[in-house]
Structure 1
Amino acid sequence: MLASVALMTLDHRQQHLESLRSALSVAVYPLQLVVDLPNSFGEWLHESFATRRHLAEENARLHTEHLVLKAELQKLSALQAENLRLRELLDSSFKVGERVLIAELLSVDLDPYRHEVVLNKGSRQGVFDGQPLVDANGIMGQVVHVGPFTATAMLITDPAHAIPVQVNRNGLRTIALGIGSIDRLSLPHIPNSADIQVGDLLVSSGLGGRFPHGYPVGVVSKVQLDPGQAFARVVARPLAELDRSREVLLVWPARRAPAGTASDAADEAAEATP
């Protein structure tokens, strides 16, 4: 007993057994690792699952936010495009000079041989049969049927539609016929000797009293002269965006403007100006 105490006292003072303890600790260390392995592995596994679950939840949250932000961005883009279209229509209403009413397309006839659209305005807003329909670029067509809350309009490219036009450059009068193609109008019965060229602007002539004078209708895109025929083959491209416009203008000639129904953009702007 005394020898052990003496040995411990000597080691404490002179550190003679330090090398032996170091060697023993090195030998015992693998055993300590093996003994502690289940606990360490359990903690690592728990932390890994928790981290994976957290990352999965974070990824799902970010994915949802991404979808929401994309939807909002698309909505903002659509609102921006609609705002631009309405600004163009407003500018067009100032140029028109007659009383106008902005209408929105509810549906489009899918029949390839019938170019008709349904509008969200009807007789309660003063819409009438034969009323001209325009967009920011030119004449689109005319109303052919009116209900209390909706109206059906025939586009100028419908095979049953015809509109009196004239060449803006020289006043040459003709008729623009729809041929069932959304991007073409036919100008029949134009003599080979007539002064008409590719690029000529066609405007409404006002003849017949249906369409006011001077509205843009189309641009001549093809003039084909055939010496063997009495008339030239002339094709025009409509200026109105018939397959893209969503908001349109219903126009009242001055003599038919219904009081208190259609919005006169020019008058409203003049009243708002101090």
Structure 2
Amino acid sequence: MKRINFKKIIYIGAVIMLLIFLHFSKLILPLESFLLKSLSPVMNGMYLTSSKIKTSYDKQADKRDLSAIVEQQNTRMNQLIAENSRLKSLEDENRTLRNYLKFLSTKEKKYLMANVISSGSIDLNSQSVLLDKGTKDGLYSGLAILSSEGNIVGKIINAKENISEVCIINASRCQLAAAIQNKEKTVGIAQGDLGLTIKMEFIPQNADIKVGDIIISSGLEKSIPRGLVIGQISHIKKESNELWQAARIEPLTNLEDLVVVSVLLP
């Protein structure tokens, strides 16, 4: 066992006591001042270094905290955008359904509501849409499709058990027996024009038509009654040396916004 060196302990204690005495008696004040002045640059450098380290650490911590806050805010913003979009979609759908209810309540015809579930067709034709109703619901080719305003927007051209394909009135292969609401009640065929608009050709040269005239279904098709609005004449092509004149028709319904439609039943 190592022996305790009492002399060394007594010596160290005496030195400490002497330093304490000299400090309080201010006898070593000059020496303390000299040492503090000498060590001041070193102490200042150590303080600045530690301060820079602390500042750098705090900045990094602040950056991490700020990054986390920004990420949280972006996540929240995306959630709010998605929720707002969902509510806007529900609002639009409710407005459409209210319009349908208002329109259908004034008619004595039978209707079936259907949802547009896809753009495109059974044979991949892009100028048509698919509905979630089919032959099991009593649908078949030739039935008229109406918007919430009661305007005809297309007709069924292909019906399967659970789905139906509808050609939109501006599609090239969509033809409707039409009539102009003019004095002569001029009849003809309204046909889609490359998915952009509707045209009505072979109108007699002497027929009195003008821009703004309303085009309606003529009733000459078995499953489509007379009086359904197709659109409005926006342009007339008339040449003096031609036997016929033609009209361009603009739909009164936004054909890009079809989400819910009604099928006019016989």
TM-score class normalised by the smaller sequence: 0.7 to 0.9
Other-structure match for 1:116: 128
Q: Equivalent of 2:233, from 220, 223, 226?
A: 220
Other-structure match for 1:144: 157
Runs of 5+ consecutive residues of structure 1 not aligned to the other structure: 12-16, 254-274
Secondary structure of the 1:49 match is helix
Other-structure match for 2:104: 93
In the superposition, the TM-score normalised over structure 1's length comes to: 0.73
Q: Does 1:173 align with 2:186?
A: yes
Supply the AA of the counterpart residue of 2:248.
V
Q: Quote the sequence identity (%).
A: 22
Query: Which has the higher mean CA deviation after the structures are superposed, 111-120 or 55-64?
Result: 111-120
Ranked by relative contact order (alpha carbons within 8 Å, sequence separation 6 or more), the top structure is 1
Q: Does 1:33 align with 2:44?
A: yes
Query: Which has the higher mean CA deviation after the structures are superposed, 144-153 or 173-182?
Result: 173-182
Deviation at 1:38, TM superposition (A): 4.9
Q: Which has the larger radius of gyration?
A: 2
Other-structure match for 1:189: 202
Deviation at 1:40, TM superposition (A): 3.9
Supply the AA of the counterpart residue of 1:115.
Q
Q: Does 1:47 align with 2:48?
A: no
Deviations 1:214-248 (A, max 9, x none): 11111112223322112222222233333331221
Q: Does 1:63 align with 2:74?
A: yes
Q: Does 1:84 align with 2:66?
A: no
Contact 1:140–1:155 under 8 Å retained in 2: yes
Deviations 1:38-91 (A, max 9, x none): 544443343333222222222222222222222222333333333333333333
Instruction: Provide the rounded CA distance (Å) in 2 between the counterparts of 1:86 and 1:53.
Output: 49
Supply the AA of the counterpart residue of 2:128.
E
Other-structure match for 2:257: 244
In the superposition, the TM-score normalised over structure 2's length comes to: 0.75
Sort the Cα spacing of 1:96 and 1:153 in 2 relative to 1 into closer, same or farther, 3 A: farther
Contact 1:182–1:243 under 8 Å retained in 2: no
Instruction: Provide the rounded CA distance (Å) in 2 between the counterparts of 1:112 and 1:192.
Output: 39
Sort the Cα spacing of 1:34 and 1:215 in 2 relative to 1 into closer, same or farther, 3 A: same
Instruction: Provide the rounded CA distance (Å) in 1 between the counterparts of 2:105 and 2:189.
Output: 26
Contact 2:154–2:168 under 8 Å retained in 1: yes
Instruction: Provide the rounded CA distance (Å) in 1 between the counterparts of 2:247 and 2:219.
Output: 21
Sort the Cα spacing of 1:99 and 1:167 in 2 relative to 1 into closer, same or farther, 3 A: same
Instruction: Provide the rounded CA distance (Å) in 2 between the counterparts of 1:182 and 1:96.
Output: 30
Runs of 5+ consecutive residues of structure 2 not aligned to the other structure: 1-20
Deviation at 1:149, TM superposition (A): 1.0
Sort the Cα spacing of 1:40 and 1:188 in 2 relative to 1 into closer, same or farther, 3 A: closer
Contact 1:168–1:203 under 8 Å retained in 2: yes
How many pairs align? 245
Supply the AA of the counterpart residue of 2:91.
Q
Other-structure match for 2:223: 210
Other-structure match for 1:234: 247
Instruction: Provide the rounded CA distance (Å) in 1 between the counterparts of 2:68 and 2:62.
Output: 10
Deviations 1:134-161 (A, max 9, x none): 1124112221222121011223334343
Instruction: Provide the rounded CA distance (Å) in 2 between the counterparts of 1:238 and 1:71.
Output: 32
Instruction: Provide the rounded CA distance (Å) in 1 between the counterparts of 2:80 and 2:173.
Output: 46
Contact 1:176–1:185 under 8 Å retained in 2: no
Instruction: Provide the rounded CA distance (Å) in 2 between the counterparts of 1:43 and 1:186.
Output: 77
